[in-house]
Amino acid sequence: MDNHPYYSRLIRLCRTGFMSLLFINALPLGSWGQSTLIFDHLSTAQGLSQSTVRSICQDREGFMWFGTHDGLNKYDGYSFTVFKADPNDPQNTLHHNIITDIHEDRKGRLWAATLGGGLHQIDKRTGQVTAFELGRNRENAWNTLFSIHEDQTGGLWVASGGGLARFDPATRRFTRYAKPAYPVAITQDASGNYWVGGIQGVSRFDPRTGTFTAINIRNGQFKQPFISSLLLDSKGILWAGSLEGGVWRLDAGGTPLRFTRYNPRGLLTKSIRYNGIYANRRGEVWLATGEGLQRVDPNTDQVTTYTEDRSVPGSLSNNSIQSLYEDRTGSFWVGTNHGVNKTPAYTKAFSAYQIIPTLASTSLNHNYINTLLEDHTGTLWLGSSAGSMDGSFQHDLVAANPVQLHSNQRGPFKSVASLAKQKVWTLYEDRQKRLWAGTEKGLYQYQRAMGHFKRYPFPFSVRCIVQDSAGILWVANHSAGDTTVIAALDLTHSRSTYYYHHPGNTAGLNNAFIYQLLASRSGDIYVATGGGGINRLNPRSGRFIHYLPAYESRASHLNDKEIRCLYEDHQGMIWAGTGLGGLNRLDPRTGRVQVYTTHEGLPSNRILSIIDDDQGNLWLGTARGLSRFDRITQHVRNYEQRDGLPDDEFNTGAVYKRQGRLWFGTRNGFFGFNPDSIQDNTTPPSVYITGLTVMNQRRPLPQRQLTLAHDENFLTIEFVALNFHRPEKNQYAFQLVGLDKQWVFSNARRFASYTNLAPGHYRFRVKAANNDGVWNQTGTSFGLTIEPPWWQTNWFRLMALISLLLGMGITIRFYTRVKLRRQRHELKKVLQAQEEERQRLAADLHDDLGATLSTIKGQLETLPSLRQELEMPIRLMGKAIGDLRFISHNLMPPEFSRLGLAEILGEAIRQRQVSSTPVFLFVTFGQQRRLDLETELIVYRIAVELINNALKHARARHITVQLIFHPEQVCLLVEDDGLGYLASHRPAAGAGLRNIRSRAAYLKGDLVVDSNPRGTMVTLTIHY
């Protein structure tokens, strides 16, 4: 076996008397003795349909497909979708459950070869399966397929038990070749020739001539081997793997064609599985064998073998390798007889170790690393403080020869004090390259020349050691049984200064429990206490400043009084890890504190160790893993046991840095790494919609648009990010545009539910980040329309509006008709009253006043002596009598009912023509028809009113009155050449016009008035 790079073994010393001396290997977790590959495992426990994985493929969307002996499996990083034969639905399912090969062609169609059911095409969106059988029945050897190869024109070549065949996806027809017999592997070279491997060895097929040429592999010594796998690498070398004869190679373009056996240093196994040779993108060749997985570097002929080791977490799950595949991210997938193994492309370069190897779920006392240090010689020193198996361990990084530190062993180590029987709290190397150990029994200095530790005369246990810029060594204890003290040891002048804890001294050390000392650049000593916050000692004055929480006002103060660790960065900021409050940053100049907790992304608020790297990032050991904290952006990146750490729980102060390399101690081992070698997964994950549930019923996946009825507004949308390395750390965010105003960050939740969605147009979109927080900001989306119910549709709204308007129109019309009817009725009563009054007035004027005036006139005419003087009054009285008779006639012409409208109106006009001005013209047209007496009387009144207006107000010189009888209506037209209504400005004229309009409305007639300064024309139309 190859030695693990950088370290080889640790030697454990058990107590003499109580103990014995043993030597064991210190195992890097998961990969001692073979390589640093760590595999994740998928099996039937995670949903795989069957354990034997014969084929692996990744489609262009990023989903992984696994062919097993019991169905085809689609994997999204979280769960499996299984495709199997269904006797009740043979038209849409597989015809056989043993899947021997999977291939996605250039058009994105997925094909599966089966061991007895022929070739199958799988619709990746709907899951529908279409089978294409070569033989007439499933027992036919032609339906026993082993591999699929796509040629340059898109045709699919399949190796079957009956021979070689080509399938044309366009015509869905097979072309069969009976030779060679029983082929199982096929590939194509740059010249277009096909190489076929099987029970008869290797043959070359020229599709242009249709001829097969057998290639001899025996070389006169071996029988023709059964070739189970073929690979044509990037250099044109054809690799042939056989079931029993190992690996052979041939230059496919060379002459003559001759295979040579390939087995560097005899390390390759003889049995190569079907399709068991695979080349990754780095040019390495991987072999699937029955005795494990083998990796070959063709350039150096180096062979690495990976086998199952149940005592090592992350090893292969089974030695029987069936299939190999490298996905687009560079992760490598291995199918075995016990499920799928995957090693990620982006590995975290954490080198994890244990003093006594044990499973990650089990902790031993010796693996509880309390302190560690890499000295100037490159030797790593470890201190433990848990349980009865306590002591220190030395791991020589240069000679790779670690031994337990001891004092009772003679030989190269001479005993001064026993560290093997005491708890070692701290290790420290000062600037003079002196190594110090603080234990429960005191302070020890390592004597390099003698190879052992010597106790330094210090009367207390030692928890912390640090050296300031002046060379003073500061030590402190913390023990309930001892007096708590901080000592300044001036080793040059053999002087010591002690600072004791006195509860009553407010200017002194305020707590008896000390976790760490920090010598700052300013010369002040910072003390991390278990209940007194941070104590800051000024060595010149001997006084302490205390930084404590202010629980009433947490802003700018520490948020916890338990300080577990301290660190000063290059800017002079003091970083404090607390027991409950996360990470606190203290500015010594202002005393202000900035706090970072789990709300900012830390995995735990219990911070146990702090160190920085060469880029200025802080690395934090917490109670739940390791964190990288960017001091500039405050971004937190977390690592845990599945990333290669020996344990997620770190120990207080167990951290060290040397030459850019960081070391951390945990409760189950220790690890080291160079921060520059920690690679993040920079590939954004593809994001897809994987499921849709509407009203608790599964629905087909939408492509671009989903339309639902108004009562289908309860839905759940499932989605996935295709990142297969630590998929549980993928993060998601979704938004239903039209409802959600912002992105909803759901962390690891992979579904979104919406209830009672209102009708409308929406767009659902989702994005995701991989395990290292790299987001695919584009994500995926689809349109969603919730159709409104029929009573909320546009056509219904339009019809409702039309109906409303129609109803309003009918209502208004009805209301208007009722109102007009009421007005007509009231107007009729008024008109009847007026007519009655006119008749009474006419009778009174004619019979009473007219008779009286006639009598007076007659008597006046009988007075001869006064006739001359009374001539003018008599003349005026005669005129008055005539006017009175005219008015009486107009009020109620006595012949109206007999003569009719035309005759009465003509007579009235003739009576008006008493002088040369104005000139009247009365015209009638058409066949005269009688109207009812009321209508004729109202028309007559209107005509008289219009004539009076023309005479009195318009000062017209010509007045024309026309009475026109049409078949369906009668028109009255009165026209003059007067001043017009606007020019006259006579109120009486306006009142008369209003009276005319009311009369016309009563008759339901149409009245049109056309008036201007040059004259007026009024038209009244009455329908019969």
Task: Show which of 243, 278, 313 is a domain's final residue.
Answer: 278
Count of domains for the chain? 4
What pLDDT, on a 0 to 100 scale, did the predictor assign at position 1017?
A: 92
731 and 672: one domain?
Answer: no
Lowest mean pLDDT segment, chosen from 103-112, 445-454, 529-538? 445-454
Quick one: 199 and 124 in the same domain?
yes
Q: Mean pLDDT, to the nearest integer, of 499-521?
A: 92
Same structural domain for residues 776 and 920? no
Model pLDDT, residue 37: 82
Between 364 and 995, residue with greater pLDDT:
995
- 633 and 752 fall within a common domain: no
- pLDDT at site 399: 29
Q: Is the peptide bond before 918 cis (omega within 30 degrees of 0)?
A: yes
Q: Which of 146-160, 527-541, 845-859, 906-920 has the lowest mean pLDDT?
A: 845-859
Asked if the structure places residue 829 within a domain, the reply is no
The mean pLDDT of 719-737, rounded to a whole number, is 95
358 lies in some domain: no
Mean pLDDT of the chain: 85
User: 257-305 pLDDT, tens per residue?
Assistant: 889 999 999 999 999 999 999 999 999 999 999 999 999 999 999 999 9
More confident residue, 35 or 857: 857
- Considering the domain architecture, whether residues 663 and 749 belong to the same structural domain is answered as no
pLDDT at 869 over 70: no
Give the span between the Cα atoms of 195 and 205, in whole angstroms.
6
Of 6-10, 68-72, 184-188, 756-760, where does mean pLDDT reach its minimum? 6-10
**Are residue 51 and residue 107 in the same domain, yes or no?**
yes
* pLDDT reading at 386 higher than 60: no
**Cβ 603 vs Cβ 638: under 8 Å:** yes
How far apart, in whole angstroms, are the C-alpha atoms of residue 257 and residue 204?
10
Bond preceding residue 225 cis, omega within 30 of 0? no
Q: What is the pLDDT of residues 420-444, one digit of tens each?
A: 677 888 999 999 999 999 988 899 9
CATH of the domain at 758: 2.60.40.10
Do residues 610 and 601 touch, judged by C-beta distance below 8 A? no
pLDDT at position 412 over 50? no
- Crossing angle between the packed helical segments 794-843 and 987-1002, to the nearest 10 degrees: 110
pLDDT at site 1: 33
Strands 495-500 and 485-490: antiparallel
Domain at 1004, CATH number: 3.30.565.10
Q: What is the pLDDT of residue 28?
A: 37
What pLDDT does residue 199 have? 93
Rounded distance between C-alpha atoms, residue 943 and residue 909, angstroms: 10
Ranges 385-389, 602-606, 761-765, 858-862: which has the least confidence:
385-389
945 and 993 within one domain? yes
Query: Of the segments 204-208, 322-326, 416-420, 1007-1011, which one has the largest average pLDDT value?
Result: 322-326
Q: Is the residue at 437 inside a domain? A: yes
143 within 8 A of 116, measured Cβ to Cβ: yes
The pLDDT score that the predictor gives to residue 10 is 30
Could you tell me the pTM of the whole model? 0.71
Whether 543 is in a domain gets the answer yes
Residue 397 reports pLDDT greater than 70: no
> Is residue 78 a part of any domain in this protein?
yes
Shared domain check, 673 and 691: no
pLDDT in tens, 574-624: 999 999 999 999 999 999 999 999 999 999 999 999 999 999 999 999 999
- pLDDT confidence of residue 219: 56
As to burial, measured by CB atoms within 10 angstroms (0-12 exposed, 13-18 middle, 19+ buried), residue 220 is: exposed
| Domain shared by 232 and 177, yes or no | yes
Q: Are residues 699 and 572 in the same domain?
A: no
pLDDT in tens, 614-671: 999 999 999 999 999 999 999 999 999 888 898 999 999 999 999 999 999 999 889 9
Cα gap 611→618, rounded to integer Å: 6
Q: What is the pLDDT of residues 708-723, one digit of tens each?
A: 999 999 999 999 999 9
Return the CATH number at 64. Answer: 2.130.10.10
Q: Are residues 639 and 692 in the same domain?
A: no
CA distance readout (Å), 904 to 304, 488, 908, 1000 = 134, 142, 6, 19
Please indicate, yes or no, if residue 368 is contained in any of the structural domains: no
What distance in Å separates the CA atoms of residue 217 and residue 215, rounded to the nearest whole number? 6
Which of 788, 808, 831 is the C-terminal boundary of a domain? 788
- The reply to whether 365 falls in a domain is no
For the CA atoms of 919, 923, 929, 932, the dihedral, rounded to the nearest 10 degrees, stands at: -20
State the Cα–Cα distance between residues 590 and 569, nearest whole angstrom.
Answer: 16
Q: Are residues 667 and 690 in the same domain?
A: no
pLDDT for position 69: 98
Write out pLDDT tens, residues 96-131: 999 999 999 999 999 999 999 999 999 998 999 999
Distance of alpha carbon 86 from alpha carbon 92, whole angstroms: 8
The region of weakest confidence among 164-173, 372-381, 514-523 is 372-381
Please indicate, yes or no, if residue 394 is contained in any of the structural domains: no
Q: Any idea which of 271-275, 755-759, 885-889 has the lowest mean pLDDT? A: 885-889
Residue numbers of the domain that contains 743: 686-788
Last residue of a domain, one of 788, 804, 834: 788
